[in-house]
Every structure is written in C-alpha cells, then in structure tokens.
A and B are shown apart, each in its own frame.
Chain A
Amino acid sequence: AQSVSQHNHHVILSEAASLELGCNYSYGGTVNLFWYVQYPGQHLQLLLKYFSGDPLVKGIKGFEAEFIKSKFSFNLRKPSVQWSDTAEYFCAVKGYSSASKIIFGSGTRLSIRP
C-alpha cells in the first residue's frame, strides 16, 4: 500500500539556519512527488514537484528537494530560512497512472524564531 512518512512533526529553527525536512514514501512503481505548504491562515499550496528528469527540483521561495530513488526519499531543503517560512509542510506521493490517488504525509510544522 502507498504511504508517506514525515518523521519530524515539529521543527524549530532560528533565522538563517539551514533546513532539511525528511520524507520517505512506500510505493511499488513510478511516482510523482510533491511538497505542499500551508502558511498560517492560508490555503494549501504547491511548493515544488518532481515528475521525471533531474532529481534535484527547485521550487518557490528558495526551496529545493532531492529525489533519491534508492532511498525512497524526497527531502525538502533550504539553505537559509526566514521567519516567513513558518508554516506546515506536507510531502505527498502519487503513482504515475491516472487511476492513482495522491497520498499525503502527516505534515511537519516548522517554527522559525526571529
């Protein structure tokens, strides 16, 4: 069965610190991978996505993620966080076929100390 694991439930960092949020998935086939973000009081929105090609994907606001197929991982990174990055981050996986549904992880709450 498909599943997504986000082991860090709450991460607290100071401004300018580097960020890495873990995401591991379980799926027997080709996958599409996503990171969604929900800023306080706002809707869920797409941060970045991986479909194929270069496993290092760049998204909005300086975020990037690396797909490592052998480790079934799609970790999110940012070299220097800002207070405005405070949000909840969700990793998601979807099988390549149109019949596959998207599965979200439980989310990681990121708090940035100013």
Chain B
Amino acid sequence: EAGVAQSPRYKIIEKRQSVAFWCNPISGHATLYWYQQILGQGPKLLIQFQNNGVVDDSQLPKDRFSAERLKGVDSTLKIQPAKLEDSAVYLCASSPFANTDTQYFGPGTRLTVL
C-alpha cells in the first residue's frame, strides 16, 4: 500500500514570499490532517479535513495560512506571506475515518524562511 506522499521535501524561501505544499493521502482515506512541527516540539494540528470539508482549523493562522482539499483527495497548504517563525516541518497525515485511532504520516516538508 502506498503511503502518504508530500512534496516538496525541502523548501527555502525569503520572508514575505509565498510557498505551497502538496499532500496526497493514502487511497480511500477520508480524513486528512496538516501539522506544523517546529524544531524541538511535537506536531501541532493546523487543519483537519473530512473528505473535502473542514472539521477543525482552530489552530490555523488564517491571516497567512490557507488550505484546501477540493476533490476530497489531494490537499495543498499555502503560506502567504511567510514569516521567520514559520520555519518548521509541515506534516501531512491521513486516516480512514474521522475518529479513528491511527494516523499515517507522510515524510514532511522542511521549510526554512530566511
């Protein structure tokens, strides 16, 4: 079974630039999550989708971050404009159902904002 795919794996940008990350979840998984993991911290949930609807985006900084999952499959996370404190690993995860136990994580995208 193919895992969660993410791209790019690494990205370096200047502050105030824009950046987008892509995630392809495991086939058939209805729930998709985006996490931000700052160095030395655990993953923090940014947004959770159930199919193409948003379940929880309470920790998403909506003034600069946006995410979509238009057809209930792939998802993109965008930052515009980026700040230095956005430097982190952005993880995508998926699970078969909304309240299931196991989330399957992708390799992450390491973002460096200079």
Contact = CB atoms under 8 A, between A and B. Distances in A.
- A, B assembled together: yes
Given A32-B101, A43-B106, A49-B102, A101 B43 contact: no
A44 B101 contact: no
A49 B101 contact: yes
A62 B41 CA distance: 26
Contacts, number: 47
Report whether over half of chain A's contact residues are helix, strand or loop; otherwise say mixed.
strand
Nearest to A100: B99
B101 A51 contact: yes
A102 interface: yes
Report whether over half of chain B's contact residues are helix, strand or loop; otherwise say mixed.
loop
Contact of B43 (A44, A45, A46, A97): A44
Measured as residues with beta carbon below 8 angstroms from the partner, the interface class of chain A is 20 to 34
Nearest to A34: B101
A42 B55 CA distance: 28
A46 B106 contact: no
B109 to A, nearest CB: 13
A32 B95 CA distance: 16
Interface string A12-55: 00000000000000000000101000000001111001010000
A70 interface: no
Given A32-B101, A98-B98, A101-B56, A90 B48 contact: no
